[in-house]
Structure 1
Amino acid sequence: MDNKRVIMAVALSFIVLLSWNYFFPPAKPPVETAKPTATASADAQTPTTSSAQTADSTPAAPLEDASFTASKGRSVTVDTPLYRAIFDSNGAVLQRFDLKKYKKTIEPDSPPVDLVTEASLNKAPMGLLVDGKPSWTNGSWTFAGDDVTLAAGENAELTFKATIDGITVTRTLSFDADSYLISESDLLSSDTSATVRLAHTLASSTLTREGDRYNTTRIAYYNASGLNEEQDKDDLEKGILLSDGLEWGAIESNYFALTLLPIEQNAVLKGKITDDIFRIATEVSSISLNSGVGREIATAYYLGPKVTSYLATAPNNLAAIVNYGWFDFIAKPLIKLLHFFYGYVHNYGVAIIILTILIKAIFWPLSQKSYKSMEKMKKLQPLMADLREKYKDDRQKMNEELMQLYKTYKVNPAGGCFPMLIQIPVFIGLYQGLLNAIELRHAPFIAHLPFTDMIWLADLSAKDPYYITPLIMGATMFLQQKMTPSPGDPTQAKIMLLMPIVFTFLFLNFPSGLVVYWMVNNVLSIAQQWLMIRKA
């Protein structure tokens, strides 16, 4: 085997794996997109139904663009230890949803995160559509209750009622003080037999900082094929439709989610971006009503942080919304370990350092083996160069002689590479875990530059504002490369020395928690190599 090819392949693979999410977003699953058609009543576009739609189902209607105004009803407030929600009594449309434990910025007087926002209110979050018509403009709603304040362990219900085109609709919303889950039961009845379509909606403006390519707002859904995400704006402006075994649909970022969880098995999901507002709706078609007999349709909402302990209590496998990509099975235990260390040190920056040290200790023997193998290969470089020169016109003979050389000196040409390849899944897993861990959001490490009042690493989910840690990381990587035994070939050596420049560029805008992890790992690698050199 040609050692030059092996080392170059590993180096390039390592760069591609680490930079894949930067340059190439995850591949999108096949989703039916809407085809623009002119309509008489709205500017919505009708999505093409999926082939999985059952034959007896009524074709899905467009995601209506009817606007909502809060002038007709009064505000109804639900206050819990976790959130403060405000509804309009005209249709139970959600006006605000403030997360009490999460602030918009790291400033002490920062307001809480509002998952609805005034910008998206016009699209009627938690609005109800009956036969494709917005219930808040086509019905006269009544509400006889009052504001609700819940203490830990308590729960409550709000009931809203209206008649829409001969269909009586009773919306009952259930709240739990210890959960972000809101359950809904809709009782439909009619004096005559009827067939009804019922849709529940959610809407939100962007959940992320503008230009943050590592934390984008997107529409996600879960069905038999698993978790799927759509973040391409062009596709979302056309509209998407899913009708194959839907479990839930969501508007999400790395840290927060607004989720619809239909209990009915035949629900379809529609998603769209309209006026920079992300919108989703789950619709149940062909609801048969008999005269004087009520029919109950259940659904649920989850509006809150992507915290596993809260998601685990939700139906329809909502916990699957926390996914760390290819190496999810590695990332999740590592994040649990991070939480464990934080429980003792109460600083996520320090917890990241401890976790990095632990991982390095586990892989210490492999790193030693890799370094020793590279040392042996370095000693054979003169002999290998002679063989390449001697048999430069006979490649087959040259390879045979090189293999005989490796066999004679008991050297595996890939021995320095395979130990590193085994570690790559762990590196990538932890990278994904730290990138999506809500615990790092607004978590400080070293809040101010030493001896100054300049805010520095006060938020491990944000980039280093002064690029200090990425530059140190690049310098440590360069030093590590210089200490690593040279591959012998000058071209190879130059390629390897380019890696610190590439990684420094990639890490400039990385969340600082990721940079701290990689920087500490480099420092530990340098220490290990220094010990090996000293021992040798």
Structure 2
Amino acid sequence: MDSQRNLLVIGLLVVSFLLWQQWQADKAPKPQPVAVTQTDSSVPQASAASTDVPADQAPMANRQLIKLVSDQLELLVDTQGGDIVDAKLLNHTVAQGSNEPFELLMDKPGRLYIAQSGLIGRDGPDSRTEGRPVYTSAQNEYRLADGQDKLVVPFTWTNADGVTFSKEFTLTRGKYTVGVDYKVTNTSSKPLELQFYGQLKQTIEAPADQQSHAMMASAYRGAAYSTTENRYQKEKFDTIKENNLNVTTAGGWVGMLQHYFVAAWAGEENGKNTLYTRSVSNNQDAIIGLKEPLQSVAAGASASLGATLWVGPKLQDEMATVAKHLDLTVDYGWLWFIAQPLFKLLKFLHSLVGNWGVAIILITLIVRGAMYPLTKAQYTSMAKMRMLQPKLQALRERFGDDRQKMSQGMMELYKQEKVNPLGGCFPILIQMPIFIALYWTLMESVELRHAPFALWLTDLSVKDPFFVLPLLMGATMWWIQKMSPTTVTDPMQQKVMQFMPIIFTFMFLWFPAGLTLYWLVSNIVTICQQTLIYRQLEKKGLHSREKKS
């Protein structure tokens, strides 16, 4: 196997990987759910003791939207039920150069994505047959003041027995977490039975700006959850349409994921929480949520029930402090154990140079440098194999169509010449997981979103606007092919080899600039390493004899 065949193998593996990822996202068989609930679980039971999460109800005329603003988040809270119906990320814009903040949660026609929460159970305000409560708020807008670390906003409602429920939202400076807590003092003469739930509801059909390009493996958009048995489990929208999840776990979280951003409810770490899904609105919307254990509040006693909501970018270090394994929503796939160290190295390099593009160049140099012994072994094995081509041809002429004798003769020849026929393939098999892991590291890192590099490259997370990097990548790929001698004589294989740089150039036109920059630098390193290795082989007489053969 020579370098051109290796190039073809890499190309086919990469393209196959991307196609497989897309197939998984669109066509893969649906996994079986952990457990199935009743088909009609989206409709609340008529019983006052029901612990089913209530279905949506028509909005009441006296409801309001209350604005909560911190240094990171701008939220709108609906006084009916106390749901968060809009969330803007103040330090992340819709587009580079824009002053419009990125809107993660929203309640718009045809595009719903909200965070709901409430109290159910026999005495839960959200289990009432007459509808969810309408809370009162002292102000229409609350802002985190300068020098203030936390903003705590109470919403209150009093039931027919005179029991006041205070639903408090806590925003913290520098954080993307929202604390949602109920403070209840039982002033009645009987115990209260209450159960907290938090859920995310989203329109299933992806908006245009979140639909993937056919030439790329798409980032996952859908639901996910974590249990003690499954640290990170995706729950696709198609699965939610067909079956309802119902599983109990200690701790855990539920979330809705998209490229770079996530919203997630994290339950009490020591509590036995129930995680569930369902589809509503004639399968137009999907819900994933959690219910905490049922609590009894004795007469005259007080209780606090609640959970933490993360609504923001996929920041691994910060999410890991909110809930166990929440950082796994940065989805590196099955090569996460390679991708996570690569990402930490990338962050460290960025802390040194202050530019993500330069950090990508440095990590490419480090990875390719670390793999240099494998690259050298690969080219050395290729050179030795090409030296044997005349002898292999003689064996073919000698044994003709007798495959058994031909195979035996080849093995004896390899043994005599001390050549491993798989020596050129093995290094590629080791390198490919690293290449793919680095691909997903760059693909999933929100830090690269709107991150500039230099000159016209102002955003490493989108394609090169002038296609300079893809064209340079294709040129370097052609140069690698040009400088690599070959013994391929089959016309079809030769044509495939010739078109590989063109195919890759076209494919990379749509890749994020950061990924294309990595591949371009990798090609340049390959050219340098190949030149160096060939010179060393020439000194040993391998490369020169190989070219003469």
- Using the size of structure 1 for normalisation, the TM-score is 0.82
- Larger displacement relative to structure 2 (203-212 or 95-104): 203-212
Task: Return the offset for 1:366.
Answer: 1.8
Query: What is the percent sequence identity of the aligned residues?
Result: 30
What does residue 541 of structure 2 align with? none
What does residue 202 of structure 1 align with? 200
What does residue 53 of structure 1 align with? none
What does residue 454 of structure 1 align with? none
- Larger displacement relative to structure 2 (159-168 or 255-264): 159-168
Q: Which amino acid aligns with 1:162?
A: W
What does residue 178 of structure 1 align with? 174
Task: Return the offset for 1:212.
Answer: 2.2
8 Å CA contact 2:52–2:120 kept in 1: the answer is: no
8 Å CA contact 1:28–1:229 kept in 2: the answer is: no
CA RMSD, aligned part only?
3.7
What does residue 255 of structure 2 align with? 250
What does residue 268 of structure 1 align with? 275
Q: Which amino acid aligns with 1:260?
A: W
Task: Return the offset for 1:100.
Answer: 1.5
- Give SS of 1:110's match: coil
8 Å CA contact 1:239–1:273 kept in 2: the answer is: no
Task: Return the offset for 1:200.
Answer: 1.9
8 Å CA contact 2:107–2:113 kept in 1: the answer is: no
What does residue 377 of structure 1 align with? 385
When residues 8 and 520 of structure 1 are mapped into structure 2, their CA distance, relative to the original with a 3 A threshold, is: closer
1:135-166, Cα deviation, whole Å (9 max, x unpaired): 89432423346723244661132222224576
Q: Which amino acid aligns with 2:486?
A: S
What does residue 154 of structure 2 align with? 159
8 Å CA contact 1:230–1:236 kept in 2: the answer is: yes
Size of the aligned set, in residue pairs, is 509
When residues 155 and 6 of structure 1 are mapped into structure 2, their CA distance, relative to the original with a 3 A threshold, is: closer
Q: Which amino acid aligns with 2:32?
A: P
When residues 289 and 392 of structure 1 are mapped into structure 2, their CA distance, relative to the original with a 3 A threshold, is: farther
1:222 aligns with 2:226: yes
- Give SS of 1:117's match: strand
- Give SS of 2:219's match: coil
What does residue 542 of structure 2 align with? none
Where structure 2 has 5 or more consecutive residues not aligned to the other structure, the ranges are 539-549
Q: Distance in 1 between matches of 2:406 and 2:277?
A: 62
Q: Which amino acid aligns with 1:161?
A: T
Q: Distance in 1 between matches of 2:442 and 2:429?
A: 21
Where structure 1 has 5 or more consecutive residues not aligned to the other structure, the ranges are 47-57, 449-456
2:70 aligned residue (80, 92, 96): 80
1:469-527, Cα deviation, whole Å (9 max, x unpaired): 33432332233233334254525555555544553454332222111111211122122
What does residue 434 of structure 1 align with? 442
1:39-91, Cα deviation, whole Å (9 max, x unpaired): 9xxxx579xxxxxxxxxxx997477243557x624443332222222323444
Q: Which amino acid aligns with 1:227?
A: Y
8 Å CA contact 1:186–1:297 kept in 2: the answer is: yes
Q: Distance in 1 between matches of 2:455 and 2:242?
A: 43
What does residue 469 of structure 1 align with? 469
1:238-295, Cα deviation, whole Å (9 max, x unpaired): 4642414261011112311111011132322325475865543222464445455444
Task: Return the offset for 1:329.
Answer: 2.0
Q: Which residues in structure 2 correspond to 1:27-426 (within 5 Å)?
A: 29-31=31-33, 44=42, 61=52, 64-68=55-59, 72-106=62-96, 108-119=97-108, 125-128=115-118, 130-131=120-121, 133=126, 137-144=131-138, 147-151=142-146, 154-163=149-158, 169-188=165-184, 189=186, 191-193=189-191, 195-204=193-202, 209-213=209-213, 214-223=218-227, 224-231=229-236, 233-238=237-242, 240-245=244-249, 247-263=252-268, 264-272=271-279, 279-284=287-292, 286-426=294-434
Q: Distance in 2 between matches of 1:278 and 1:299?
A: 21
Q: Distance in 2 between matches of 1:389 and 1:164?
A: 95
Task: Return the offset for 1:122.
Answer: 6.7
Q: Distance in 2 between matches of 1:45 and 1:516?
A: 52
Task: Return the offset for 1:342.
Answer: 2.4
Q: Distance in 1 between matches of 2:100 and 2:5?
A: 55
Q: Distance in 1 between matches of 2:458 and 2:8?
A: 38
Q: Distance in 1 between matches of 2:119 and 2:517?
A: 48
8 Å CA contact 2:4–2:497 kept in 1: the answer is: no
Q: Distance in 2 between matches of 1:321 and 1:11?
A: 28
Q: Distance in 2 between matches of 1:487 and 1:63?
A: 70
Q: Which amino acid aligns with 2:312?
A: G
- Using the size of structure 2 for normalisation, the TM-score is 0.80
- Give SS of 2:107's match: helix
Structure 1 outlier segments of 4+, above 6 Å: 3-11, 33-36, 120-123
- Give SS of 1:138's match: coil
